[in-house]
Amino acid sequence: MASNSYCQGYQCEKVSTSDDLPEFSLLARRAPGYSHCTRACGCATCGCFLCSPGCNFWRLYALPKTNNIYQIGRCPTWTITASVILEVGGKTSLIQLVAAKPVHVGNEIFTLQAISTPQVPILYQPMVIKVGTNEAITTAASDPQQPAPGSLGVFQCRSEDDARRFQCTFPHETCSCSPSDFHTKCTCNYRNPMDLWHNQEVKLPFTSGPIKIDYQNHTITAEIAQQTAILVHIAFQNTTISTFHYRAKCAPSVIQQLTGCKSCHSGAQAIIFCQSKLPTTINVECDGTNVQSFPCNNITFQLNIYTDEAEFNKNCPYSCSDKSDG
């Protein structure tokens, strides 16, 4: 909003962005924003009785459109749970293992010690949650206390109580203003969460390749629908153990070359055929840190690669039982 009045001395130059000026309405003064004053013309041609310079007082401020409160955050770390298919004495069961937490199954105790998780960029994307609901989206957004003009989440509050009282802040750079003698025009660059809320490409539950991200009961979960390499400690109690070992050789071959996109949620994929005389598991390592595991029994599987490089020309070593190659 803008207001014109008579300038006294250097009053206009002394106005700071936090000043509570009587020229503004009570609504504008109470709303979070920035106060300004720009010198304007005087004399009768400008509607003034005196020829002293006039003042164009203007304030950039924000008002709420809805009562919705949004929480933005990232998940730098995740609590890993592994779904393990256990076959004992011809009987198959499914157990859930959490790192460092023993699980008792009959006379055995299973403890998950390590797991190889895929380096999927979307797992570390910002999550925008509508407070009080089970609704959330994943999209680029400003980090807390680091508002970036033009991105989602530039209007930030220190707490949920501050948000309900609308005691929040936004960067002045969100809007570009051009004051004149009588008016001030502003162009603002910001994104409203509601503009994305019905976009199925970003709304949770969200599926990208083998990853499914969901938000239920105030908890964000990510399910990875592929096998992976894990290290499990097994303790046997009052059990007689007989073991046998066989060497299962495998021979992978590329059916479909790597295709997809870089720096994206879905990544790139290659279709691999794995030949083996006995059912076994093949472990493939393409980025130096993450190992992807797949069943190998004369079947095909999809290898997922997430990279920022436009060309991926790397050797992917694999291992299968006693055989290692690249």
The predicted structure's pLDDT at residue 45: 60
The predicted structure's pLDDT at residue 6: 47
Identify residue 242 by its one-letter amino acid code. Answer: S
Task: Indicate whether 8 pLDDT > 60.
Answer: no
Give the number of other Cβ atoms within 10 Å of residue 230's Cβ: 18
Task: Please check whether residue 228 is in contact with residue 304, taking contact to mean a CB–CB distance below 8 angstroms.
Answer: no
- Alpha-carbon gap, residue 198 to 130, rounded angstroms: 13
**2 compared with 54, residue with greater pLDDT:** 54
Share of the chain above pLDDT 90, in %: 1
Task: Indicate whether 189 pLDDT > 70.
Answer: yes
Task: Indicate whether 1 pLDDT > 60.
Answer: no
CA-CA-CA-CA dihedral for 325, 250, 80, 215, to nearest 10? 110
Query: Which of 43-47, 72-76, 136-140 has the weakest average pLDDT?
Result: 43-47
- Cross-strand bridge partners of residue 44: none
DSSP class of residue 167 equals: -
Structure tokens at 293: 């595991």
Identify residue 243 by its one-letter amino acid code. Answer: T
CA-CA-CA-CA dihedral for 97, 98, 102, 103, to nearest 10? -30
The predicted structure's pLDDT at residue 279: 81
3-state class (DSSP) for residue 205: coil
**pLDDT digit string (tens) for 277-324?**
888 888 888 766 567 788 888 888 888 887 777 777 777 888 876 444
Q: How confident is the model at residue 46 (pLDDT cuts 50, 70, 90)?
A: low
The predicted structure's pLDDT at residue 47: 56
| pTM of the full structure | 0.65
Task: Indicate whether 33 pLDDT > 70.
Answer: yes
- Alpha-carbon gap, residue 181 to 42, rounded angstroms: 9
Task: Indicate whether 248 pLDDT > 80.
Answer: no
The predicted structure's pLDDT at residue 32: 92
